[in-house]
Amino acid sequence: MAYENSALGEDVLSSPVSSRFDKVVGLNMEGEWLAVDNAMDAARMLADAWPDRSGPSYKRALTACRAYLDHGGSPIAARAAFSVAVMELGLPFRVFDDMMAFMDFQVEVMIEEDIRRSAV
């Protein structure tokens, strides 16, 4: 996930901290399943592409992701805060053990969509 001219600022974008989450958050935004597996992508999505920035969970998630990137805080807290922000928006989401599990899920979704289309 790449966001040019991110609102995060250069200090966070150049963070030396490994920003990997322990799990992958899959969310459906505007009909497309996206995988977020690190704090950098989560923070960029929150700063640059989040549809509603007024909720308290949004602010907590952005703060948790930035803290993790700035100071090497808890990846579990950052992922959990991001997941709660997704829930606050009411977006469909799932947490996966790894990227392969997310990709398997995406394939299942595509097959189901193809079956629905062919049945019409």
The model scores a pTM over 0.85:
no
pLDDT of residue 71: 86
Q: How many CA atoms lie within 13 A of 15 on its CB side?
A: 23
CA distances (Å), origin 76, targets 22, 32, 89, 93, 97: 7, 25, 20, 17, 13
Q: Which residues contact 76 (CB under 8 A, 6 or more apart)?
A: 21, 22
* Averaged pLDDT of the chain: 88
- What are the tokens at 92? 């469909």
> Alpha helix locations (H) across the chain?
10-13, 39-48, 56-71, 75-89, 99-119
More confident residue, 114 or 73: 114
* Better-predicted residue by pLDDT, 26 or 13: 26
